[in-house]
Amino acid sequence: MLSLRVLRDPGLSALHLPWRRSVLPGLGTLDTGLLTALIGGRHTLPDFLTPRPTSFAPTFEEELAAVRRTPPGLIRRDLIAAHAPDPPPEALRDVTAADDAPVIRLGATLCTLLERYWKLALEPVWPKMRLVLEADMTYRARQLAMGGARRLFSDMHPNLRWHEGVLHIDGVPGTYRTVASGRGLLLIPSVFAHRPAPPLSPDDAPVLAYPSRAVATLWAPAPAADATALTGLLGAPRARLLRLLEEPLATVEIARRLGVTPSAVSQHLRVLYASGLVTRARHGRQVLYRRSSLGDQLADRDRAA
């Protein structure tokens, strides 16, 4: 949901411009107008589209299923609140209907649209994003363990301030106070958040989405391949052996091609096999060795250099 802000207003985050440029051509006939209409004038989002996770790492499908179960009254409330004090835009006009049927249809349309958007724009890069988010969570857990809440929030964002057991959040629409005692405060790092964002309504459980650390590394180009890297990693004999195993070969044939003894080849093959870099299969009286998919990746990168 937060990525939609960057899609609509690229000036919000220059860091994500490479992502935006890469996904826009692939969105094709997707109704991006309806998607970006979900964003209020103050960059607010309807809370029902960002449900509080009930487990540590729910899948997109699980979260979308929760959104699909949203009652029409809550859909109406959150869409109107996200755009207040302005009325909802024309694309969302059905939300103002007194009857629930148009609101239910709108909710279903939004879920289908968001699912397509996820598949096209985010799922391909989600593994990279998740690594960044997990690193942030590890860092935050360490901050909390070493210095409690004061240290946890000290470097999370300039808009956050912990004072005498109260977390103050500046720069958000509206003003309210809510008690987290007994309910907890769920912290959710986000790749696309540009500032901390609690729920719009004080009636919702305390949640805080905040900008993750190290986002600038996400879209940085991969380092250039180094022709010496494979040799440095495996040593010259094993690197040479791995390059050779593009086709299945027996130990004796490998030894002949490399000009070494079969016993020396067997020793290196045992290490490469144990490391998952080669596979082996029996063919008659011979055992044939070939690079695994992981070995192919290493060899291909080395060849690209």
Q: What local confidence, expressed as pLDDT, does residue 229 receive? A: 75
pLDDT over 70 at 304, yes or no: no
pLDDT recorded at residue 302: 64
What average pLDDT score do residues 181-208 get?
Answer: 89
Extents of the domains making up the chain: 3-217, 229-304
Closest CA to 110 of 213, 33, 197: 33
Residue recorded with tokens 């809370």: 47
Looking at residue 204, what is its pLDDT?
Answer: 83
In degrees, to the nearest 5, what angle opens at C-alpha 175 toward C-alphas 154 and 161? 10
Residue with tokens 């010496």: 228
| pLDDT tens profile 132-156 | 998 899 899 999 999 999 999 999 9
In contact, 73 and 107? CB cutoff 8 Å: no
Taking residues 75-88, what's their average pLDDT?
A: 94
* Band of residue 92 on the pLDDT scale cut at 50, 70, 90: very high
More confident residue, 300 or 179: 179
Burial (CB count within 10 angstroms: exposed 0-12, middle 13-18, buried 19+), residue 47: buried
- Write out pLDDT tens, residues 101-134: 999 999 999 999 999 999 999 999 998 898 899 8
pLDDT of residue 202: 83
Q: Average pLDDT in the 43-48 region?
A: 92
Q: pLDDT tens-digit profile of 240-287? A: 999 899 888 999 889 988 888 999 999 999 999 999 999 998 877 789
CB 223 within 8 A of CB 301: no
Q: What is the pLDDT of residue 223?
A: 53
CB-based contacts of 229, cutoff 8 Å, min separation 6: 301, 302, 305
Using an 8 Å Cβ cutoff, are 235 and 116 in contact? no
- Considering the segment(s) 229-304 as one domain, its CATH architecture is Orthogonal Bundle (1.10)
- pLDDT recorded at residue 227: 57
Vertex 220 angle, CA 216 and 221, to 5°: 175
Is it the case that residue 305 has pLDDT exceeding 70?
A: no
Q: What CA–CA distances, in Å, run from 298 to 29, 120, 124, 218, 242?
A: 38, 28, 22, 22, 9
Give the residue from 191, 189, 182 showing the smallest Cα distance to 208: 189
User: In terms of DSSP bridges, do strands 286-291 and 249-250 run parallel, antiparallel, or are they unpaired?
Assistant: antiparallel
Share of the chain above pLDDT 70, in %: 96
- Provide DSSP, 212-235: PTTGGGTTSPPPPP-TTHHHHHH-
170-183 pLDDT, tens digit each: 988 778 898 888 88
